[in-house]
Structure 1
Amino acid sequence: MPLPFLTADRAFETADDLALPYHDRDRWRRPYRPGPWRVGAAALWLLLASFVLFAAVIIAFTASAAEAAVIFGIALAVIVCALRLLRMGAWVSARGLRHVTFFGTRTTPWERVVTVRTAQQPVRWLGLPRTVQGQALVLVRRDRAEQDAQVLMTTHNADFLARQGSFDRAADTIEAWAAEHGRR
């Protein structure tokens, strides 16, 4: 079963001369691969879900169906959390910029984007309260002040920790999308 949200298109890695090498620009896509920390955490959640599913099968054979259904529901919730963890990140299309977090998704049309830029600032380390000095890709919208810029991704999140080159390529690609669609 292909998981299109898990892999980014390879076109942006091979076409260095084209800033936006996508043919179907209306499709939402993440212009980078999920990082090893994100994939590893999702794999651990899926491993936990497999144990919980196994427990649900054992409970179904030895106890009541209601108890097995509860455990099966817990396993499904863990699977949904793992898949949501894999979908997190910045997504682009011709319609706008989409920032997917664990609990929500915010889509900003290109008409409302003032700028997307890289800024040197304190960033959260793997989403935890601890902050370190790093780079962040920030989105400034027309309906908000410059101080209320939304952080899309950082050099220390689960996708780019210890992958500075990948952060630079992803930030450049998203900035190129914003520059092209901001001119229209």
Structure 2
Amino acid sequence: MPLPFLTADRAFDTSEDVALPYEDHDQWRRPYRPGPWRVGAAALALLLASFVLLATMIIAFAGALPGAAVCLGVAALVIGAALRLLRMGAWVSREGVRRVGFFRTETVPWARVSVVRTVQQPVRWLGLPRTVQGQALVLVRQGGGQLPLLTDHNADFLARVEAFDRAAERLGAWSAEFAVSS
């Protein structure tokens, strides 16, 4: 039985010096793995959702259907939040680069990208209001605006400097490949 999630991992493991490891560049892909902080937070949220679903079942068997409906709605919200948390990050395709946030997604076509570069600046620590000095990978638009794509202190790259450098190189390679040809 083929396991497609294992082949996706192999694309990251075997292509250390290949920036565009996939043949199909039309599909939106994240050019790096989600970090342990992001995956751990989503796993804890899904664990909480399983307990809420168990409570929903107990409440439904007890006969309080309005309470069970409320618990089911809370579980659905927690599951949706966990899935959105896993989806956050920078995604690339032949069309452009997409920054997926928790509440907002922004897509910039490669034709509007001026440069993708790494800068030293204050960055938010794990997305919280506290800022620390770190590196950020920013996309500079042709009109002059900047879009921060990644930081070395977010949930994907905290205490993983090599992974941040690889992701920055891969995003730069996507930019060099498609921003020039657009």
TM above 0.5, yes or no, is yes
SS of match in other structure, 1:10: helix
CA offsets 1:101-137 (integer angstroms, 9 cap, x no match): 0001111110011111111111111011111111000
Alpha-carbon displacement from aligned partner over 1:130-155 (angstroms, at most 9, x marks no partner): 11111000011123x2xx41111100
Tell me if 1:167 matches 2:176. Answer: no
SS of equivalent residue, structure 1 residue 103: coil
Stretches of structure 1 lacking an aligned partner (at least 5 in a row): none
Of the candidates 155, 174, 180, which is equivalent to residue 177 of structure 2?
A: 180
One of 149, 153, 174 as aligned partner of 1:152: 149
Tell me, in whole angstroms, the C-alpha distance in 1 between the residues paired with 2:130 and 2:69. Answer: 39
Residue 107 of structure 1 aligns with which residue? 107
Cα distance per residue 1:61-96 (max 9 Å; x no partner) = 113212211110110110000000000000001111
Q: Does residue 1:53 correspond to 2:30, yes or no?
A: no
Gaps of 5+ in 2: none
- Looking at structure 2, the residues matched to 75 and 51 of structure 1 have their Cα atoms a distance apart, in angstroms, of 9
Q: What is the alpha-carbon distance in structure 1 between the residues aligned to residue 166 and residue 108 of structure 2?
A: 21
Give the TM-score taking structure 1 as reference length: 0.91
For 1:74, the aligned partner's letter is V
3-state SS, counterpart of residue 92 of structure 2: strand
- 1:139 partner amino acid: L
TM-score by length of 2: 0.92
Asked if 1:136 is matched to 2:133, the reply is no
Cα drift, residue 12 of structure 1:
4.2
Kindly report the root-mean-square deviation, in angstroms, between the aligned alpha carbons of the 2 structures. 1.7
SS in 2 for 1:21: coil
CA distance in 1, matches of 2:76, 2:129: 29
Task: Note if contact 1:56-1:68 (Cα within 8 Å) is conserved in structure 2.
Answer: yes
Q: Distance in 2 between matches of 1:26 and 1:155?
A: 27
Question: Which 4+ stretches in 1 moved above 2 angstroms?
Answer: 7-13, 15-19
> For this pair of structures, how many residues does the alignment match?
178
Are 1:27 and 2:27 counterparts? yes
Task: After TM superposition, give the deviation of residue 13 of structure 1 in Å.
Answer: 3.5
Instruction: Report the Cα distance in structure 1 between the residues aligned to 2:86 and 2:141, rounded to whole angstroms.
Output: 26
Shift of 1:17: 4.2
Q: Which amino acid aligns with 1:79?
A: I
